[in-house]
Structure formats: structure tokens, C-alpha cells
Structure 1
Amino acid sequence: MQVTVYSAFNPINFQSLHSRTAMAPSKAKTKNLLMVADSEHDANMLYTVGMFVPDPFIYLRLSGREFIVMSDLEIDRARKQAPRCQVLPLSDYYQNLRSKGKTPDFAGVIQLILRENKTSSVFVPNNFPFGLATQLKNLGISVKPELGNFIPEREIKTADEVRKLTAALRMAEIGMAAGIEALKTSKVGKGNRLLHQNSPLTSEKLRSIIDTAVLQAGGFAANTIVAGGRQGCDPHERGYGPLRANELIILDIFPRAQKTGYFGDITRTVVKGRATEAARKLYDTVYAGQKLAFTLMRANTPTATVHEAVLSLFNKQGYKTGKIDGRMQGFFHGTGHGLGLEIHESPRVGATSTGVLKAGQVITVEPGLYYSEIGGVRIEDVALITTGKSKNLTRFEKVLEV
């Protein structure tokens, strides 16, 4: 069997990365901020507080001082795990409100704290609860939505964050290794359907193999993509039904580390058996596009420039993008996106993206081409942007035929 192998990895000089304490004050640090959310699901809350809390709680940054209001259930843990914040007991504020004949709720607590700090104006994120905002306005508090990134320093990763992202990426690679090993050891049955341990190998079964390996490595895998044949032409199709030999299969794995909340992200496209010449050419073109993107991804490069260069390469190779028979085909998604406490975060690298790349950003590099008569190909690694050549944080090899 002929095998095409591609691999790229550059070592990381963590000493060259900044620390969070060395960062210049952001616009958010000069404003009074309010968030009410749980930190299990809200990335801004997790970033600022640094601990997982399953229920919504109050966070305030007032004149540079940080406060969190915690229930009795969480208060002792918060004092240990959120040392930057002054931890205030929710029960005390509720008792205060009751003593004044008022309803004990978050709006009343926030009003009391703002009065204690001699302010009545706060900025909130775009996902702030509308009902709570209305209550606060009725209490005479000015609630202003913060346009753009609520915590802009999240975009530039510290050395510690890069380590956490890399650890999550290793979890994704462990899942990828398990998935590809299952494909390698599978047999080809009737109609080119794959068999694994004498049972049909479906997208669902291979996804469970991948997700189990990720879980055992310390990650949560959700919505893992295992899409074969024409299913791979829909980039976010999770995949279903039997997998077949000699056709393209997209494996896209993006787990969240259980301990830290950071995400990893990796995509490989493989063929069990022999790839057609059309599939091989498609694969080689996508890989060439990814290599081109890596050469351009460095500090001060406009994000749109990277995407336009990849799209231009695909066009020159004869792979046009547009609607064919009523559906989009070609390269119709972005080249990459920021990665961190969210699977998709700032910046974006695509046709409509703005701004320039900055040292310390961690961004996926994932060009793809999709044609219904051939299948889909997407290859994804993770880049750390520096002032020089970007660093590829991904170690997993690229193999077309397995």
C-alpha cells in the first residue's frame, strides 16, 4: 500500500512569551465591569475567576479591584481557588435585603455593592441576561454593553495558557491515534463496507472509539466529526452510517480539557485503502494551502491576507468555489480561528475578517476543499503566532492512506 506522510512541528520557546502580569492594562481594566454567569460555560467568567462554578454568580471589577459574590456552598473553595478576587458572601447580602423588606435577588445585591463602592455604572458583556439588565436599570444603575471582546487580554495567550492549550491538543491527538488505528485494523467487507472486530464500522462507532480515548486522556469530546464520502462535503456534518474503503473520511476532534477548560483542535483526512487520483490531488492541494498559510501567519500580517492567499492558490489549481447544483462546493469556510477557552474565539482568519495577527495568538490552520463527486478534505493544525515564523503546536503526522 502506498502511503503519503506529512509532518511538521516546531519546538516552542516558552521563555519568549509574555506573562499575564507583564501585560499592559487593557481597556477592560480601566472600566467597571459586571458579569453574572456560571464559569462552566462562560469563558470570560472562567478566565477572570480561574475556577469552575456550575451555577451563575456575580463578578465585579470596580476601580481595578475584583469581587465575586458566592453562595455558602462555594465560598470556602472560592477563597482558595480565586485569590485575586475579594470573596463576598451572598447570604449576608440577602439578609441585608430582607432586613430592609426587599426581595433578595442578584439585582439587589449588585445595587448594594455598587453603592458601597460609590458607583452606579457598569459595562456588561453582550450575553448579559436581558431580564437582569432591565432590573438594574429600574434600580437606577447604568448598564452599558461592552462592544467587541469583553476581556480583550484573552486573545493573547500567556506561556501558561499555551501549555494548557498544548495539553488539550495532545488529548485530541490521542483520540486521533485511536481513530486511525481502528481504521488501519479494520477489514473490508461486502460493498467496500469496513468491519471492525467483526462488526460494521460506522461513523457512530468510530466516534465512540475516539471520544473514549479522549475521555481517558482527561478531555471531554463533544460533536466529534467522522464523516465519510459525500458526508464530508458538509464541514460540520458529524457523520452517520457505515464507513467504506477507498473513500475520503474526515476526522475532526476538538476536546475540552477537564481540568483547565482549554480546547484542542485537530483534523485529518484519511482513506482506508487506496485513494483515487482525484482524491489524492485534492488532498495534496489542501496540504499545499495549509503550508502556504503557515508561511504567512506571523505578527502584523492582516488576517484576510492569509485567507485570500490560500483561496488564490486553490483557484490557480483549478478548484473553484461556488454553488454547484444548488450547494456550496470548493473552499467556503475560513482558514482558521482563535483557540482557547472557547473552541471558536477571536481572531478569525477568513474572507471577511479584519485586523492583523499578533504575537501570542493561538489559531487553527484548517483549509479545506469539498466536491460532491470526490468528497471532502480538511487538514487542521494549531499555530502559535510569533514575530517570526509561526510555531506548529500539533505533532500528529499527516497520512492519507491507512
Structure 2
Amino acid sequence: MTITATVLAGIPKSNYSLYHKVRFLVGDPTALITIQGGSDDHSMFIVRDIEMQRARRDARADRISCPADHKPESGLSGDRETATAQATAEYLVGQNVTTITTDRTLPYIFAHHLLLRGLEIQYDANLGVLERRQKDAEESAWLQQSQATTEDAMRMACELIANADVNDQQQLIDGGEVLTSERVRSAIDIFLLERDYLNPKSIVACGITGADCHDYGAGPLYSEQPVIVDIFPQNRKTLYYGDCTRTVVHGHISDNLVRMHMAVCEANAAGCSAARPGVTGEDVHKATIQVILENGYKTGLPTERDPDSFCSMTHGTGHAVGLEVHEPPLLDFGGPELLVGDCLTIEPGLYCRAVGGVRVEDMIILTPEGNHNLNKLYTGLDWKN
């Protein structure tokens, strides 16, 4: 009978594959060992001694130990990470394991000490990838929570822009000062920090700045120009992200922007309708861009020869979200088959160097019957109270 072992190791706070498997948040080196094929199949989580009680209560592992429980004959290093790697190797040898399988995240210090003890290491490029894609009920609830808070932040930001005053230069004014991308971004940061979220730099891109889909935006915001607001915060407790984009226009909305927005919303609906288990990411992308093309717009980046009026969708339809804001699979050409539990963004947009951009982004989770949209937020351009 061959005993096999899978090893995930590192710091769960930053190694998301390990955290996903063990669901225990800690900032110290750890190892999760899964033993199979013998008379005592089990998982062992090696963690710092002061974390053992909490790990016994919360970690997804059959057994909990600390490095001191697995000392090599030469003793443990005084360096915490080295000691954890030594203990991991010692435990595996004690379990009569000769070969381990690991993923792309194994720190080299662990590999080094496994090799010193004569263990063979096999790399599985797909280990954990499908598991992270197929969100369970707990993860789905965490994603719903993060998306709800993201929507609250989006509502605050869009209403701040829509209800601002305006000066003679058509610049927006709030509290007697010019309202800038930076001020709105700070308001978003504070709003989310107060709710225990980390917030990567949000996009608040006004006018022609928004013609570049990933320009963060800078400087004054102006009336009658589209402002793309893209917010993607991480819950500090669960580590799961939200991701939402809306577009807001202060004051009069031109017919051109109305047409762009209608096409984007139709494309969003088409993408959401197409997304279900068994279809591919490419299928969803094709359904989305078909609507863009039917409305008379283009796809792909403009060339230097194209006029500023050239208007197109320049990116894929979306991506997966979870412990990272961008995860596989992509909704684009070449996108793979979709699975139950995939959490995906549907975010078509149109971009024009003459006027700027319009993007509407929702987040969905695939179910056996189709999908569940985590968004309930208004999708229009006019956010004035």
C-alpha cells in the first residue's frame, strides 16, 4: 500500500491557496499535510504553539500540532519559518511518506528541507485551482457580504458626484472645494475602512480619461461628463473581495452617452443570461460583444489612424473573483468551461477618446440552474437624489 501526501505550506494570511484549504487566518508560517493511502488517512495542520487552541476550534484539519511536536534529531532552528519546514519534513518521514505533491505556492524553504530528508517533490499545476473556483456556501455568503458593502460604497460615491454643485468652469464643487477624483477616492477609502475593508486604489475616471479602461483618474470632475467608478475592496476578516462598476453623469446627459449606456446595459444582461455551468468563458464573451456589435459599436483597441469618435469595447467581458480580485477563469476568447460555484464579473464597457467611457459591472455566482446575481444596485447614469 502506497502512502501519499499533499503539502501546502506558507503563511495563510498571504498564501491564499493554503488559506482556502484550511480557512484559518494567521500571519505565521504553517503547513497543511494531507495523508492518504494508509490505515490512518488524515490531515495535519502544523502551526505556531500559541495558535493551536484557536486552530483546533477553527481550522479545517483533523489534527493540530506545532513544530516542537516534530523535532529532528539535530533540533529545531531558532528561525520560525525554518523550524516549521523542518517539522513538516520530520512529520512526513515519520508517516513513511517518500513522495509529496504540492502546488505552485510552496515556499522554497519548505522544498529545501523536504529534499534534505530525501523526500521526492511532485508539482501539480492544477492543485487547488478547481477547488478555489467552485465556491462553497460559506464562500458564497462571504462574497455576497463583500459585494453588498461594495454597493454601499458605490452608492455613496455616485451620489456624492451627482449631487455636487458646479462652478463657472463646469467643475464639480463639494463643501466649497473642487471635487476631484482624489477626493472621491479618499471618501471611498474612508467609507470602506470604517467597515473593516482594505481598498486597493479605486478608479474614479472622468471624461476622456475614462477612455482608457484602467486609468485611475486624476484631477477635477466635470459636469455633463461620464465618470467611471470601479471599486474592488477586500474584507479584512474573510479576505474575500467585492467588485462593482457604475458610471455617473452630473447634470445633462447627452444622447451619445445615453446610446452608449443602453448598449452596455444590454450587453451586461446578455452576458449574465449566457453565463451558466457547461458553457465556456468564450461563449459568454461572444454573447456580450454580439450586443455591442449589433448596436453599431466596435471591439478592440483603436489604432492611431482611427478618429477620436471611434467607440469600442476594448477588453474581455469579465473574470473570476474570490480571495483575489482577478482569478481564473477569464470571460474572453479562449476562456474555459464554466463550473458551478464560479464567481464572475460581467463588465462590458464602451470607450471613446472624444467623450470618455461607460462601464457597468455586476458579479454573479454560477448555480446548477444558471447563476445568481449578487448585485441589486441601480445601473443608470443619473444618481441625483
TM over 0.5: yes
Inter-CA distance 376–38: structure 2 relative to 1 (3 Å threshold)? same
Matching of residue 171 in structure 1 with residue 153 in structure 2: no
Instruction: Report 1:146-225 matches (<5 A).
Output: 146-225=124-203
1:379 equivalent in structure 2: 360
Q: Secondary structure at the match of 2:375?
A: coil
Amino acid at match of 2:225: E
In 2: Cα distance, 1:302 partner to 1:152 partner: 15
CA-to-aligned-CA distance 1:200-242 (integer Å, 9 cap, x gap): 1111110111122222233222221111122222222222211
Inter-CA distance 279–150: structure 2 relative to 1 (3 Å threshold)? same
2:334 equivalent in structure 1: 352
- TM-score (normalizing by structure 1): 0.85
In 2: Cα distance, 1:384 partner to 1:239 partner: 30
Amino acid at match of 1:51: F
- TM-score (normalizing by structure 2): 0.88
Unpaired segments ≥5 residues, structure 2: none
Comparing 332-341 and 192-201, the one that deviates more:
332-341
2:119 equivalent in structure 1: 141
Q: Considering only aligned residues, what root-mean-square deviation do their CA atoms show, in Å?
A: 2.5
Matching of residue 395 in structure 1 with residue 376 in structure 2: yes
In 1: Cα distance, 2:49 partner to 2:22 partner: 17
Say whether the 8 Å CA contact 2:72–2:86 is kept in structure 1.
no
Matching of residue 39 in structure 1 with residue 20 in structure 2: no
User: How much has 1:95 moved relative to structure 2?
Assistant: 7.0
Q: Secondary structure at the match of 1:395?
A: coil
Matching of residue 60 in structure 1 with residue 41 in structure 2: no
Amino acid at match of 1:346: P
Instruction: Report 1:229-244 matches (<5 A).
Output: 229-244=207-222
Instruction: Report 1:238-387 matches (<5 A).
Output: 238-320=216-298, 321-325=300-304, 330-354=312-336, 356-387=337-368
In 2: Cα distance, 1:374 partner to 1:319 partner: 14
Q: Secondary structure at the match of 1:324?
A: coil
Q: Secondary structure at the match of 1:79?
A: helix
Amino acid at match of 1:46: Y
The 4+ residue runs of structure 1 with deviation greater than 6 A are 326-329
In 2: Cα distance, 1:85 partner to 1:193 partner: 61
CA-to-aligned-CA distance 1:122-157 (integer Å, 9 cap, x gap): 222213224542443344222222112525222222
Q: Secondary structure at the match of 2:49?
A: coil
Which fold has the larger relative contact order, with Cα–Cα distance below 8 Å and residues 6 or more apart in sequence?
Answer: 1
In 2: Cα distance, 1:200 partner to 1:56 partner: 48
User: How much has 1:260 moved relative to structure 2?
Assistant: 1.5
Say whether the 8 Å CA contact 1:58–1:70 is kept in structure 2.
yes
Unpaired segments ≥5 residues, structure 1: 1-29
Instruction: Report 1:3-22 matches (<5 A).
Output: none
Amino acid at match of 2:354: E
In 2: Cα distance, 1:139 partner to 1:124 partner: 16
In 1: Cα distance, 2:101 partner to 2:325 partner: 25
Inter-CA distance 388–200: structure 2 relative to 1 (3 Å threshold)? same
In 2: Cα distance, 1:234 partner to 1:127 partner: 33
Identity %, equivalent residues = 27
Q: Secondary structure at the match of 2:18?
A: helix
Match of 1:228 among 183, 206, 218: 206
